[in-house]
């Protein structure tokens, strides 16, 4: 089906399970969201129009709005 899967053991001891399809990239996240942002920024070099979709809230993010989301989310946890 043209799907490729990748596993990234992130420096914080977590992981990202990445699935690349022809029309999308999905990420199962078990690490700090900063690593999702790093992956996203790397993928944007290949596909500049790429956006992050939070499937739980249906909110779309670019790099700046996702960075702000991370900061605000982790600030609420402390």
Residues 31-76: tens digit of each pLDDT: 999 999 999 999 999 999 999 999 899 999 999 999 999 999 989 8
pLDDT at 22: 86
Rounded Cα distance between 54 and 72, Å, is: 15
Residues in CB range of 36: below 8 A, 6 or more apart: 16, 27, 29, 52, 66
Separation of first and last alpha carbons in the chain: 43
Q: Using one digit for the tens of pLDDT, what is the confidence trace for 1-39?
A: 689 999 999 999 999 999 999 888 999 999 999 999 999
Q: Which two tokens stand for residue 64?
A: 């700046």
């Amino acid at each position: 089906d043209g799907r490729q899967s990748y596993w990234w053991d992130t420096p914080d001891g977590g992981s990202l399970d990445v699935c690349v399809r022809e029309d999308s990239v999905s990420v199962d996240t078990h690490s700090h969201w900063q690593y999702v942002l790093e992956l996203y920024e790397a993928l944007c070099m290949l596909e500049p129009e790429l956006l992050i979709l939070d499937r739980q809230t249906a909110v779309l993010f670019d790099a700046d709005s996702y960075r702000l989301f991370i900061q605000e989310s982790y600030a609420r946890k402390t």
